[in-house]
Structure 1
C-alpha cells in the first residue's frame, strides 16, 4: 500500500468521525487507567457496566485503597480474570500514592512499571489521557492493519512500529481510535462488512464480497 492510499484512508475515517475517542467511560485519568486495566480480555461494554457504580464511589487511588481488594472484587466480579485484576489494581494504586503523588504518570517507563499495565495499556493511556501519538495494537487494530494492507505484520509490536511509520502525521494522534472502531464495527473478524465500508476501494483485502 502506498502513501497516497494511506492518506486517503485516514482522511475518510476522519470525515466519518472527526473526534474519535475510547468507548470506555471514565471521569479522570485515574479512572481511565483502571478501566483500561479491566478491559484486558473483556469488552468495553462489560467494563462500563461494572465501573458505573465503582466510579461513583472511587475517583482516586487512595479511595480505591480504602475500598480494598475485597470491596473492589464485589464491583468487578462480572469481568473475566477479576481476581488477578483486583490484586493488580490495588498494587497499582499503592504505587500511585507512594511514588506519584496519587497521579497517573505520563512516562511510559513509569506506566509499564505498574502491576497490570503492559505496553498496550500504556499506549492507551499516553494517547487517550495525554494526547501522545501512540497506537495500542489490540486484536481489532492487528486485524485491520493486516487485512487492509495498511501495516501488515506478524506480531503486535511489528504492527505497532509499522503503523507509527505508515500513518500520515496529521492523523497519527487519532489513528488508534479510528482503527479500533473500524475493526469493531465494520472490518469485523468473521464477516467484514465490506459493502458498507468507507475505504472499500482503497483496501487491499483479497476476499471482499461484492457490493449490493
Structure 2
C-alpha cells in the first residue's frame, strides 16, 4: 500500500520497477468526456487485453503512473494530518508537483514526440497532450486552494484533478501504449522508453 506520507522516499524514481510500486486505493469511476465527443477515443475503464511484450516494454512508464497515483493518495492522507502536523499537506503537494513536472516533461520530449510523428498514433498523442494541459491547470488550481487554506475548494479541486488523472493514465496504459507497440514495434518502443528514462533521470538530477 501507499503507507504514511512520511514514508515516500523519492529516490525510488532512480530505478523504478513495475513490481515495486504502490497499489492505489480504488476511486469512483471518472467521467471521460471523449465518450460523448469522440467515442472512438474513449478510454476503457478497465485494463484491456494486450500482449505481454507490450506490457513489459512500457512497464517503466506504467510504474511511474502508479507512483503518481500514490503521491496523490499521500496528499489526500495529508488532509487528515494537517491540524496535528503543520506543513504535511504542503510537502505532499510539493512532492506530487515535482514528480509530475519531471515525468511529463520527459514524456513530451520522447514518447509524445515519437507518436506525433506517426499518422496512426498522432490523434491519441494529441489527446494525451491536451489532457496534460488540463491536468496542469487543475493542479495549479489545487495548489492555489492549498496556499489560501480554502478547505472546501481543496476537496473539490483534488477530486477534479484525481478524475482527470485517472482517465489520462488509463488512456495511456490501455490505448496509447498498446497502439504505439502495434505501430512502432518492440525495438523502437524499447529505444523510446529507454530515452524517456534517460531524459527523466537527467531532469531529476538538475532539480536536486
Relative contact order higher in (CA < 8 Å, ≥ 6 apart): 2
TM-score using structure 1 length: 0.26
* TM-score, L = length of structure 2: 0.26
Q: Which has the larger radius of gyration?
A: 1
Structure showing the higher helix proportion among its residues: 2
